[in-house]
Amino acid sequence: MPNASASSPEVEWARRLLEGDATAFTPFVESFQHRIFQYTWLMCGQREDAEEVAQDTLLKVFESFDQLQDPSRVKAWVFRIAKNYCLMKRRKSVFAPDREYSLDELLPGSEESARTIQVADSGALPEEQVLRAELASHLEEALAELPELYRSVVLLRDVEGLSTSEAAEVLDIKEDAVKQRLHRGRLALRKSLARYTPAGTGEASR
């Protein structure tokens, strides 16, 4: 899906705004305000910063709206501006390189495997729905624990739904780097969330 967000509502609203259609204004503002607020809060950890970054970004977006060349790239364009305001909120760069995870340390540990067996043997496997609700309730905490290097990519790709090429544009990195950080970020999230959900709920262990 190289162009996953090309047909998203934001793209449609951006097109209409470029044509002067005022009915697209409120939905565009509300959607991006919420997205930027959420992204900034999870990146910077401060509610006040998140509110301010959302407003500053939208003002910058509209002040330079005549420079939006390609409405299908509107998400990348807006998030790039948001990322820069987000950076200014921090003395230390939130996008500074963290220690990188190796694939090996993201493998399921022996503890997890042992628990898997135990749970699988007990025969009391939770329903898929219950599992998902449990995961969702701990996701925010797990995201916050993720090193920023990975968090920014997981937020843009999975939470905000940007494509690989859009995320690469926002973060000024190559697409291969987006893919690698996304994979390691997801694996780290999985590992962290495995604390809350018994593993061994796949068909494999039934």
Partner 1 sequence: MTEHKHQHNQKDPACLEVFAKLSEYLDGELDRLECDHIEEHIADCPPCVEFLRGLKRCVETSREFEGQGNCPKMPPEMEEKLREAWQNALKRRENAH
Measured from the CB atom, is 25 or 174 closer to partner 1? Answer: 25
Q: Does 165 bind partner 1 (CB under 8 A)?
A: no
Kindly calculate the radius of gyration of the chain based on its CA atoms and give it in whole angstroms.
20
Cα–Cα distance between 59 and 29 in angstroms, integer?
10
Enumerate the H helices of 20-109 as residue ranges: 25-44, 47-63, 74-88
- The total number of residues shown for the chain amounts to 206
Cα–Cα distance between 60 and 39 in angstroms, integer?
17
The only residue of 136, 141, 145, 172 in contact with partner 1, by rule CB under 8 A: 136
- Measured over the CA atoms of residue 65, residue 28, residue 42 and residue 1, the dihedral's sign is negative
Phi, psi for 195 (deg, rounded to 5) = -60, -30
Measured from the CB atom, is 72 or 163 closer to partner 1? Answer: 163
Query: Going by C-beta distance under 8 Å and a sequence separation of 6 or more, which residues neighbour residue 146?
Result: 154, 185, 188, 189, 192
The only residue of 11, 76, 82, 154 in contact with partner 1, by rule CB under 8 A: 154
Residue type, 201: T
Measured from the CB atom, is 66 or 92 closer to partner 1? Answer: 66
The only residue of 46, 177, 187, 196 in contact with partner 1, by rule CB under 8 A: 187
Q: Does 124 bind partner 1 (CB under 8 A)?
A: no
The only residue of 41, 79, 101, 150 in contact with partner 1, by rule CB under 8 A: 41
- Which whole-number Å values give the CA distances from 116 to 130, 193, 199, in the listed order? 17, 14, 5
The only residue of 17, 43, 168, 171 in contact with partner 1, by rule CB under 8 A: 17
Q: Which helix H or strand E contains 35, and what residues bound it? A: helix 25-44
Q: Does 126 bind partner 1 (CB under 8 A)?
A: no
Contacting residues toward partner 1, per CB under 8 A: 1, 17-18, 20, 25, 29, 33-34, 37-38, 41-42, 47, 50-51, 54-55, 58-59, 62-66, 103, 107-108, 110, 113-114, 116-117, 120, 131-132, 135-136, 139-140, 143, 154, 158-159, 161, 164, 179, 182-183, 186-187, 189-190, 193-194, 199-205
